[in-house]
Amino acid sequence: MQGASDSESSVYGFTQDNTRRPTVQTAAFSQACVEFAHEVAARGAALQVLGDERSTLFPDELRPYLVRQPGGIKVNFLVNYGVDWDLAGLSTHGALRLKEVSTVDMVVR
C-alpha cells in the first residue's frame, strides 16, 4: 500500500480553449482555480500548477505554485493548459510539458 507521500492526483482546472468563453465565465474559472489552489496548499498538499503562465489569462496568484510545493500528497493542477502549449515543450525542453502528470484514472464532472 502506498503512503500519503507516494500518492498523486491530477486536477484539471481550465484549458486554453476555455479562455475563449465570455469574460464572466473566464473570470469565474480563474477565481475558482485560485481558491482551489490556496485550499489545497493550506491542507498540506505538494501542489504544482502547470499551464501557460505567459498568458495574460493565467492567474497571477498561482505563480508561486509553478514550482512544486513541499507537502504530502502530490497534486498536479492544470490551469490554462492546452495541446499546443504541451507540445511546445518538445522544442524548448526536449519533452512534453505534462510528461510528469499522471494519466487519467477517473474524471469527475
CATH assignment of the domain containing 86: 3.40.1180.10
In a domain, 99, yes or no: no
pLDDT 10s digit of each residue in the chain, 109 long?
Answer: 344 446 888 898 989 998 899 999 999 999 999 999 999 999 999 999 999 999 998 999 999 999 999 999 999 999 998 888 888 888 888 888 888 776 666 555 5
Which residue segment(s) compose the domain that 24 sits in?
Answer: 4-93
Task: Annotate 15-76 with DSSP letters as a single string.
Answer: ETGGGGS-HHHHHHHHHHHHHHHHHHHHTT-EEEEES-TTSTTS-GGGGGGGSPPPSSSEEE
d(CA 39, CA 27): 18
Backbone phi, psi, residue 48, to 5°:
-140, 130
- The structural domain count of the chain equals 1
For residue 98, being part of any structural domain is answered with no
Look at residue 43 and tell me if it is in a domain: yes
Residues 58, 56: Cα–Cα separation, whole Å = 6
Report if residue 26 sits inside a domain. yes
Residue 17 lies in a domain: yes
Residue 49 pairs in a beta bridge with: 77
